[in-house]
Amino acid sequence: MTEIGAGITAVSHGMKVLAWLRQVDKNYDAAEFKLKISELADALYDAKDALRQANDRQSVDAAEIERLKSNFKRKGELVRGEGNYQYFSKPNGKPIGYPICPRCVELECRMVELKQSGYYNEAECPVCSKSYNPVTCYYSDGSEDGDSDEKARRKSSEQSAKIAELGLKINGS
């Protein structure tokens, strides 16, 4: 970016020199000289415009690279959970929350955690709106050694969901 920025500065300086030249050119009174000055002005404007565009695009590219680098770093922290989905992980390496949207990872290298969209095992991507079912949500209990609590919670969540499904079947038939 600094090279392009310096290029813009140099071209800007050239344009100032050109403006000065334009003031003295009437002493020469030569049509061709004026035409050349005009061509030079056009070229300088074009160069400045191109440099500015390149500078803008590079800023966008740099931001995109930062986003991808950050995502790759986070991808290293992803773990596999049930259904072979990828999850963000807790410091102890256990999955936490809903899975990462496989579609967004595949297409845009974007780590988007799914959000519940109905039953406990139904989730939707807040970015691409794709739905996934069934999925498992891993709960956190906030403590370091709470694996058994976590399992118990998950089991109780699964059980209550099964009971809810059973209720639906009974009511539905």
Stretch that binds Zn ion, among 22-30, 38-46, 53-61, 94-102 (CB under 5 A): 94-102
Q: Is 123 in the site for Zn ion (CB under 5 A)?
A: no
The one among 107, 128, 152, 163 contacting Zn ion by CB under 5 A: 128
Residues 6 or more apart from 113 whose CB is under 8 A from it?
88, 97, 98, 99, 100, 101
101 contacts Zn ion (rule: CB under 5 A) = yes
Residues paired with residue 131 on neighbouring β-strands, in sequence order: 124
Within 8 A by CB and 6+ apart from 126, the residues are 112, 114, 115
3 state SS for 62-105: HHHHHHHHHHHHHHCCCEECHHHCEEEECCCCCEEECCECHHHH
Phi, psi of 119 (to 5 degrees): -65, 165
Q: Is 103 in the site for Zn ion (CB under 5 A)?
A: yes
Nearer to Zn ion, 96 or 111 (CB): 111
* Residue from the set 127, 152, 163, 166 that interacts with Zn ion by CB under 5 A: 127
Q: Which is nearer to Zn ion, 92 or 116 (CB)?
A: 116
Instruction: Confirm or reject binding of residue 62 to Zn ion (CB under 5 A).
Output: no
* Stretch touching Zn ion by CB under 5 A, among 12-20, 70-78, 122-130, 162-170: 122-130
Segment near Zn ion (CB under 5 A), from 37-45, 62-70, 98-106, 151-159? Answer: 98-106
Interatomic CA distance for residues 56 and 47, integer angstroms: 14
Positions that interact with Zn ion (CB under 5 A):
101, 103-104, 125, 127-128
